[in-house]
Amino acid sequence: MSLQREDLIVHATTPELTDDEVRTIRGDFPILAETVNGHPLAYLDSAATTQKPRAVLDAEREFLERRNAAVHRGAHTLAAEATEEFEAARATVAAFVGADVGEIVWTSNATEGINLVAYGLSNAAFGDGDPALAVGPGDEIVVTELEHHANLIPWQQLARRTGATLRYLPVDDDGALRLDLVGEVITDRTRVVAVSHVSNVLGIVNPVAVLVEAAHRAGAIVVLDACQSAPHAPLDLGELDVDIAVFSGHKMLGPTGVGVLYGKRTLLEALPPFLTGGSMITTVTLDRAEFMAPPQRFEAGTQRVSQAIGLAAAVRYLDAVGMPRIAAHDRQLGARLAEGLDAIRGVRVLGPVGVERVGLAGFDLAGVHPHDLGQVLDDRGIAIRVGHHCAQPLHRRLGLGASARASAALYTTDDEVDRFLDAVDEAAGFFGVRS
């Protein structure tokens, strides 16, 4: 496809992908032709990990077969070609999220990226970074009550290491952030505000602009978990004005084992390294080392070269389809999921109704453990997620120990959603929810 990508906003008039286009897209994903328990696979677990198109599989395989070598090392032809393709992948990903190439750091996943920043802030006082970034007693770190554990536990640990105080912005009974409390929670003591762009449980898009404004007014940096937004809508990190952002390749059609840390250039230059060793240094003696400029400063050791190249192929695939149209398709599927589930007796859809949502719906079927529901659906070839989705505090706030979650992607069809809704409705009858 040759649709053009916009950079900032998805308009209500943006056309959705047609049924024919979605069928064409599905043909690029070999696994979607599989059957499970005698039924065609309906894969509704894309928020956990997406499936990979042939373009991604082929890009990684071709590199390994024809140009595999260690990057930034050696003077032979393969090493030069590998380095060129590796850095071209960085440029591709940077353009996709509105960043400069020097602002993109390769990581293993989003979790590593957040830990990199958290450890860097705790080490800033020791001379390898800007001491002004150091977090210590009297400082405050703000998270929200709906964060994935990956954007919570590193900040808990930072507070423990440094003596800082961890605070959180709560959610209301529906799961929406309490924006009326922003002024009380984010203060002149706040050094970091960490927030998910999209909740991986609720599917709702959080008001990042409000939090960025409050954080910057207080002199704090904003760390954005973009794992659930990068695959679903145009993402311009420069326009959002966040200081740090992370996302994972495997959630956006790319390989596992590769993630991205975005950081404003001035912040990366001031941040000390997390992992140290080869490839991230300029000079080493037995007594000390001098580190390279970002992004290489944060890329110690042998890199995930083929995975980065595969992620670049995924980005090109998404761009070719068109992120605005993917977003329109995604919104339509999210509404179809939420409205269809809400119409089933005994189902509680998680998250506020009538707000912007990606193609994801978390829900609870009264009196039925999500694992039991998941097994019933799996018997019918329908793959969903069950559990606490690495968000125990949010589930606790909503009065649940676990939930079920259906999540879509650009290859998801209306028929798959309807098949899923019919199966949930049948399960409600099977478990006696209507009695």
Query: What is the dihedral sign for C-alpha 61, 111, 243, 354?
Result: positive
Cβ pair 377, 419 in contact under 8 A:
no
What are the residue numbers of the active site?
390
Q: Helix 77-96 to helix 305-321 angle, to the nearest 10 degrees?
A: 40
How far apart CA 369 and CA 378 sit, in angstroms, is 14
Question: Long-range CB contacts (< 8 A, 24+ apart) of 335-343?
Answer: 336/414, 336/417, 337/361, 337/406, 337/408, 337/417, 337/420, 337/421, 338/203, 340/417, 340/418, 340/421, 341/421, 341/424
Quote the DSSP letter at residue 174: T
How far apart CA 131 and CA 123 sit, in angstroms, is 9
108: tokens are: 């293993």
Sheet hosting strand 347-349, strand order edge to edge = 347-349, 360-365, 403-407, 385-387
Closest to 170 measured CA to CA, from 184, 154, 157: 184
**Number of CB atoms found within 10 A of residue 109's CB:** 22
Tell me the HSE value of 296 on the side-chain side, using a 13 A CA sphere. Answer: 16
Residue 135 burial by Cβ neighbours in a 10 Å radius (0-12, 13-18, 19+): buried
Quote the DSSP letter at residue 31: G
Closest to 309 measured CA to CA, from 54, 86, 62, 101: 86
Residue 360 burial by Cβ neighbours in a 10 Å radius (0-12, 13-18, 19+): buried
194: tokens are: 């960490």
Tell me the HSE value of 289 on the side-chain side, using a 13 A CA sphere. Answer: 13
